[in-house]
Amino acid sequence: MIQLFLRDIGLSVRSGGGFGLALIFFLIVVTLIPFALGPDQAALAVIAPGVLWLGALLACLLSLDRIFGLDYEDGTLDLLATSPLPPEAVYIAKAAAHWLTTGLPLSLAAPVLGVLLNLNFETGKILCLSLLLGTPALSLIGAFGASLTLGVKRGGLLLSLLVLPLYVPSLIFGAQAVRLAAQGLAYDVALVLLSAISLGAAAILPLASGAALRINLR
Amino acid sequence: MMPDLGKYALEVNSSYAMSLLALAVITGLYVRRSRAVKRALAAQEAAQDA
Amino acid sequence: MNNRPIAPRFWDRFWRLANPKVFMGWSGRLLPWIAAAAALSLCTGLTWGYFLTPDDMRQGSTVKIIYLHVPAALMAINGYLLMFVGALVWLIRRQHVSVLAAKAAAPVGMVMTLIALATGAIWGQPMWGTYWVWDPRLTSFLILFLFYVGYIALWAAIEDEDTAADLTSVLAIVGAVFAMLSRYAVLFWNQGLHQGTTVTVADGAKQENISNVFFQPLLLSMAGFGLLFLTLLLVGTRMEVRSRRLKVLQARERME
């Protein structure tokens, strides 16, 4: 399981993997926002929390179909299915690798990009924290969606359709926490609820996703 | 006999029209597809019995 | 207690109703009656609501939209609940009819959600001054709509029927959990946005004090929407059972 985890990280860091792509996508989204909404500093500061969260979420979405897609095509997943490793463990390893290569770098990059949107440093710290707590749920839900659409040819669009509604609670609590922090209000409830979703997803989704993998590989 | 709907006539009428249309469309679709499948199945069964 | 031997026998009989052949029998016999009852109560309820109810003092004639809006919203939620139960029964007991019922329920539920959203928007324009408010209830319904779309899309995308049934069932169950979660998340989100100024107060108060003049036709059209949903559900499930049998026969023919 740990080997699988390390192998996945290695694959995504190598060229052609999703590692740099998600970060660059995130940067481009943040760059485009002022072009669309005008360079007014005060207005940008107001929308920055939401935009940064949304950008991170979309960047996460980009690399989802790679989680299982390549392994399914070249037969690695069939091999894994015959190995003693349960599909739940495969799912956890894959989701963890996805988080480490997208969620974590995105969280660390977000405060830096926040500077571009006139987000102050204090709020940037909360943004980073909220992303750290929230992106595990994004990776877990995303890997679940990927395991559902495994056998579907060109399932990228379908995957987004299935996964985006599931992202709603995380997005609400995450952006809310940063917004409250920006206004100087108490944000701890939102952060607690955000982590609750991540933990809940980590508890329930391995079962659902393991079932989906078994169904797809039988 | 039309009831007097006052200044909101457009709103009320359009929502009734839209809802009834939507219900009619989904009902029509279900009935049509169900008939088509029923016919196809009957044909298939007849062909296989013969 | 002598009801112990009875209970298993009851459940045996209950599950026998879901045997495809038995299901086709009883649903075929029941369908005309349910369809007739649906048509009758829907026509009476809506005609009563449209022609024979007085205008509300504050809302004028727009109060008549309630006879569409509330029943549609009710069936939109119950439709998803039904899909959830159907998916659960399929995964646990492998009853084909239950998953086919869930499949048949989805498009109807989606249309009900659309009706609820559209009539709500039309009612909102004169009453709230805007077609759309990011109010908890409205937002939850929009998310519910997305869940319906995702479920239907997944059914359409997977070729193998049993795989599709399994995967959509997993999705329906996870989706139900997240739909509940979204409901509460949205409440939290909106409270944080406009503290204390909720537009739904008018909606809620109206339902509290709703008088019999409005309530009786509303009840009737609720029954009508429910029966119509049931009719379409049976029609759709019967169609799916037949189409499944058709595919089996075609496959057998190819084998020979």
What's the pLDDT score for residue A51?
86
The beta-strand segments (E) located in chain C are: none
What's the pLDDT score for residue C197?
34
Confidence of residue A136 (pLDDT cuts 50, 70, 90): very high
Chain C, 41 to 80: residues with Cβ < 8 Å from chain B are 46, 50-52, 55, 60-62, 64-65, 68-69, 72
Q: Which whole number is the average pLDDT over C101-116?
A: 91
Angle at CA of residue A13, ends A8 and A15, nearest 5°: 120
Annotated domain spans of chain A: 2-217
Q: Which whole number is the average pLDDT over C115-120?
A: 87
Using the Cα atoms of residue A33, residue A39, residue A41 and residue A47 in order, give the sign of their dihedral.
negative
Tell me the percentage of chain C whose pLDDT exceeds 70: 80
pLDDT in tens, C15-50: 877 788 888 888 888 889 999 998 898 888 888 878
Q: What's the rounded Cα separation, in Å, for the pair C157 and A148?
A: 11
Q: Which whole number is the average pLDDT over B8-25?
A: 84
In 3D space, the residue among C132, C136, C104, C129 whose CA is nearest the CA of residue C117 turns out to be: C132
Measured between CB atoms, does C229 come within 8 Å of chain B?
no
Confidence of residue C51 (pLDDT cuts 50, 70, 90): confident
Q: What is the ipTM of this complex?
A: 0.81
Of A110-119, A164-173, C86-95, least confident by mean pLDDT is A110-119
Enumerate the residues of chain B whose CB falls inside 8 A of the CB of residue C50: 3, 12, 16
* Neighbouring residues of C56: CB distance < 8 A, sequence distance ≥ 6: C62, C63, C206, C214
- Cβ separation B15–C228 shorter than 8 A: no
Which of B14, B30, B48 is opposite residue C232, by nearest beta carbon? B30
Q: What's the rounded Cα separation, in Å, for the pair C115 and B16?
A: 10
In 3D space, the residue among C73, C66, C206 whose CA is nearest the CA of residue C123 turns out to be: C66
Three-state secondary-structure class, residue C32: helix
Confidence of residue A63 (pLDDT cuts 50, 70, 90): confident
Q: What's the rounded Cα separation, in Å, for the pair B38 and B44?
A: 10
Q: Which whole number is the average pLDDT over A101-120?
A: 84
Q: Is C133 left (phi over 0), alpha (psi -120 to 50) or beta?
A: beta
Chain C, 169 to 188: residues with Cβ < 8 Å from chain B are none
What's the pLDDT score for residue C137?
72
* Neighbouring residues of C74: CB distance < 8 A, sequence distance ≥ 6: C222, C225, C226
What's the pLDDT score for residue C199?
37
Which of A158, A179, A205 is opposite residue C154, by nearest beta carbon? A158
Mutation for C interface: B2, B10, B13, B15, most C CBs within 10 A? B15
Instruction: Name which residue leads in pLDDT, C172 or C21.
Output: C172
Residue C198 has pLDDT above 60, yes or no: no
Mutation for C interface: B34, B35, B38, B45, most C CBs within 10 A? B34
Residue A49 near residue A131, CB atoms below 8 Å: no
In 3D space, the residue among C36, C66, C70, C37 whose CA is nearest the CA of residue C53 turns out to be: C66
- Cβ separation B31–C249 shorter than 8 A: no
- Residue A40 CB coordination number (10 Å): 11
pLDDT in tens, A8-43: 777 666 655 566 778 888 888 888 888 888 777 777
Residue B25 has pLDDT above 80, yes or no: yes
Using the Cα atoms of residue A139, residue A144, residue A145 and residue A146 in order, give the sign of their dihedral.
positive
pLDDT in tens, A206-215: 999 888 888 8
Q: What is the 3-state secondary structure (H, E, C) of A63-118?
A: CHHHHHHHHHHCCHHHHHHHCCCCHHHHHHHHHHHHHHHHHHHHHHHHHHHHHHCC
Q: What's the rounded Cα separation, in Å, for the pair C158 and B1?
A: 52
Q: Which whole number is the average pLDDT over C200-218?
A: 57
Instruction: Name which residue leads in pLDDT, A39 or C162.
Output: C162
Instruction: Name which residue leads in pLDDT, B22 or A21.
Output: B22
Q: What's the rounded Cα separation, in Å, for the pair A88 and A208?
A: 9
Of A147-161, B4-18, B29-43, least confident by mean pLDDT is B4-18
Using the Cα atoms of residue C196, residue C202, residue C206 and residue C207 in order, give the sign of their dihedral.
negative
* Neighbouring residues of C57: CB distance < 8 A, sequence distance ≥ 6: none
